[in-house]
Structure 1
Amino acid sequence: MHRLRVFLRALILPLALYTAAGVTAAYFIWHGVNGQRGLKTGEEYEQKLEQLRLERNLLKLQRMHWESRLALIKGNAVDADILDEEARKRLGRVHKNDVVIFLQASQAP
């Protein structure tokens, strides 16, 4: 009986300590990869940052487009083409020589 206790103590105690050390290491490794400040989070932040940069560039292009259109109607003189285009758009009218092409909803800009 005494030998069985010694054998179990010699086997169980190191096994329990190795298991506890392994579980602790696995906990820290998992959180180091998947945690709030882990490696995956850094990659997700980089992807989100790249997406936001693309959106910012698109918005800059749109702003430049609208600023150029506004420059045409600012000041004392209004560009005749811009005035004509806006009047037709708002009134829903076309000139007799215009060609109207109807787009499906999926093709409309």
Structure 2
Amino acid sequence: MLLRPRQILAPVIFATVFGYFGYHLVNGDRGLLAMAHLQREVLIAEQNLAEAEATRKIWERRVAALRNQSLEPDMLDERARVLLNFARKDDIIVFMPTR
């Protein structure tokens, strides 16, 4: 039994439409692969944010130690010696690895 072109035309059109939308569901600009890529970027951005927040907390503690209300003479002396590259004859210098 031979199929007429009209009987074949409807399934071919539907298969083509479903194929088109299926392809764009996976590979389109807002498809599944793009969503996975964006999720990876969000994960990397969250890691960068956590690192930046940790660094900020470190700097906030260091700045708080240098404020007038809580200015410690030892901290001031240490920072002045480091910045001015100054040491007295009786000082013992211990070199620490930098971070």
TM over 0.5: yes
Residue 63 of structure 2 corresponds to residue 88 of structure 1: no
TM-score (norm 1): 0.63
Give the deviation of 1:46 after TM superposition.
Answer: 2.1
**Of 48, 55, 77, which aligns to 2:48?**
55
Q: Secondary structure at the match of 1:40?
A: helix
Give the deviation of 1:85 after TM superposition.
Answer: 3.2
Give the deviation of 1:93 after TM superposition.
Answer: 3.9
Unaligned stretches of 5+ residues in structure 2: none
Aligned residues: 95
State the match for 1:74 in structure 2.
Answer: 67
Unaligned stretches of 5+ residues in structure 1: 1-6
1:92/1:84 Cα in 2 relative to 1: closer, same or farther (>3 Å)?
same
Q: Larger C-alpha radius of gyration, 1 or 2?
A: 1
Cα shift readout 1:17-44 (whole Å, capped 9, x = no counterpart): 5444333222111111121221222222
TM-score (norm 2): 0.68
Q: What root-mean-square deviation, in Å, do the aligned CA atoms of Structure 1 and Structure 2 show? A: 2.7
My pick for the range that moved more, 83-92 or 53-62, is 83-92
State the match for 2:27 in structure 1.
Answer: 34
**Of 36, 41, 44, which aligns to 1:43?**
36
Q: Secondary structure at the match of 1:26?
A: helix
1:22/1:79 Cα in 2 relative to 1: closer, same or farther (>3 Å)?
same
State the match for 1:97 in structure 2.
Answer: 92
Corresponding letter in the other structure for 2:45: L
1:77/1:37 Cα in 2 relative to 1: closer, same or farther (>3 Å)?
closer
Corresponding letter in the other structure for 1:33: V
CA distance in 2, matches of 1:94, 1:17: 90
